Structure 1
Amino acid sequence: MDAIAAPPSFYQLGRRKRIHLVRHAQGMHNVESDKSRDPLASFELFDAQLSPLGWQQVVDQRETVRRSGLLGKIEVVIVSPMSRTLQTAVGIFGGEDQADGLHVTSWQDSNVESRPPIVAYELCRERMGKYECDKRESISQYRSRFPGVDFSLAKDEDEVLWDPNERETLEAVNARAIKFLKWLWERKEKVIAVVSHGVFLQQAMIELFQNKNHYTLPLNNDYDPCSRFKNCEIRSVITFHESMMGLGSDSMICKQQRCGRIENQVLQIRESAKDKIPVEEVEVVT
């Protein structure tokens, strides 16, 4: 009797990535918007900087990331080219000499060479248009302020995406999120941090959890995956991409059993996330 090949395990479901999504710390525009939306159109909030509370959030999150060991695992940080996101990304993941106004004497262990590279990319910007706080500075200005950030992917020196008369639709933001996630999947790194904005990150999370081509699992279960991010909040997920399985005819088996054997494996990993067990240590029985 011919041996029957076992169905592929969950770890054979193609390439996987750990993505750590980070919303920028509190900006001055966040402080003003709590009072009224009107000031957001003021030039005084152009390319809004972090507030004093925002800087403290960065300090606290940097310490959390360092103590957890996450800092040593991230291979690259992708960041929106805006002051508040750059300040957050460099403040949490960069070296102390890159902090752009953040003065913390306790960061004695900072070693710039051991920090992950930080790459600016336009696709992960906030919903654009009308509000001055969402209009960016020139790339040359950012380069001088954030010398440790790679701006080589910035195609336009000056702002060309922001529209003073029309706010970008959520459908357009979602389309950008889809394009961005596809670009992220094509990168070689497996552990990636993304520092972006509330609306964009929310659309990205919705896409990750609702797209049928992904198996996405939260690695910290204390949030609603599709809810709005808090300032300086980090949400970590592991995502598997079906279109990159490369399993030949076996891939059809996986799709047919998605709600059966595969779903049971998903539940095992979900339980491991609740128990704070690293996904790599979960034993999957096929």
Structure 2
Amino acid sequence: MTARVHIIRHGEALHNVQRGYPHRDPPLTKAGNVSTKRVNLSVQPDLILISPMTRTIQTAINMFPFLTEAGSFHIPVQIWPDLREANDAVCNKGLSRKELASNFPQFDFSECHEEWDYPEHSIEGATERAEGVRRRLKELSATYGNIAVVTHRGIKAFLVKGKRFGLAETRCYRFATEEEARDDNIMRGINSDTLEEQDFGPTVLILNESQRKDQ
């Protein structure tokens, strides 16, 4: 069975409604909490991957309430720093590993830097990071059939083709076959944030057939 990757953008956070929001790592708003509790995937994931920021973690908890529990989860969960946002605004700078662990002790933040000292954003860096995420996802797709990825609009623009994600929007993808990945029409497309043409390979995610008509 072909593995599916369900990419989810976080819900409305304070920086989405307060332009020029001056603080790091904004949480979801009341509306963001409500909307993300209503997000339902078409299937139950067997792996959940989350960006290490408050708004993405809160989104995941709202979608999957068992994530409030202490101890081992019945579905594996991983925190991936490479799913962080692709923009240097202060609202996209996160917390230290110690602060994250204090706020969300049920998660393992061992992949995160001790301090939020990730390199400054660049198109080249984000493109390389997106390919690293896709490669890692493809390796995991040999084991997991439905992977939920809770992340941000900006890095999504480097991960997959298509129009911008709305808040709390989810889309389902599959990996291109070897033959498809040799097709320039599949490999290349427009980055929805930079509006520049981009190579979305060599590891390529394709929107699930049922959703293509909306793209």
Specify the TM-score bucket, using the shorter chain as the normaliser: 0.7 to 0.9
RMSD: 2.6
Equivalent residue for 2:3, pick from 12, 17, 22: 17
| Contact 2:138–2:175 (8 Å) recurs in 1 | no
The secondary structure found in structure 1 opposite 2:38 is: helix
Higher helix share: 1
Structure 1 22/230 Cα, relative in aligned 2: closer, same or farther at 3 Å? same
Is 1:196 matched with 2:151?
A: yes
Q: Amino acid of the residue matched to residue 9 of structure 2?
A: R
Partner of 1:173: 126
Is 1:28 matched with 2:14?
A: yes
Instruction: Detail structure 1 runs of 4+ shifted over 6 Å in the superposition.
Output: none
Q: Amino acid of the residue matched to residue 135 of structure 1?
A: K
The aligned length equals 183
CA offsets 1:2-29 (integer angstroms, 9 cap, x no match): xxxxxxxxx7xxxx42000000001100
Q: Write the distance in 1 (CA, Å) between the matches of 2:119 and 2:30.
A: 27
* Structure 2 unaligned spans of 5+: 184-207
Partner of 1:82: 53
Is 1:142 matched with 2:128?
A: no
Partner of 1:52: 30
CA offsets 1:135-171 (integer angstroms, 9 cap, x no match): 11111221222233222322x21111154xxxx2333
Q: Amino acid of the residue matched to residue 102 of structure 2?
A: S
The secondary structure found in structure 1 opposite 2:36 is: helix
CA offsets 1:226-264 (integer angstroms, 9 cap, x no match): 11100111101122442xxxxxxxxxxx68xx8xxxxxx
CA offsets 1:191-247 (integer angstroms, 9 cap, x no match): 2111100011122112xxxxxxxxxxxxxxxxxxx11100111101122442xxxxx
Q: Amino acid of the residue matched to residue 172 of structure 1?
A: G
Partner of 2:115: 158
| Contact 2:36–2:63 (8 Å) recurs in 1 | yes
Q: Write the distance in 1 (CA, Å) between the matches of 2:67 and 2:15.
A: 25
Partner of 1:184: 137
Q: Amino acid of the residue matched to residue 173 of structure 1?
A: A
CA offsets 1:5-62 (integer angstroms, 9 cap, x no match): xxxxxx7xxxx420000000011000013xxxxx24x2xx31111111100111111x
| Contact 2:67–2:106 (8 Å) recurs in 1 | no
| Contact 2:48–2:78 (8 Å) recurs in 1 | yes
Larger radius of gyration between Structure 1 and Structure 2: 1
Partner of 1:127: 86
Identity across matched positions, percent: 27
Q: Write the distance in 2 (CA, Å) between the matches of 1:239 and 1:85.
A: 24
Is 1:232 matched with 2:168?
A: yes
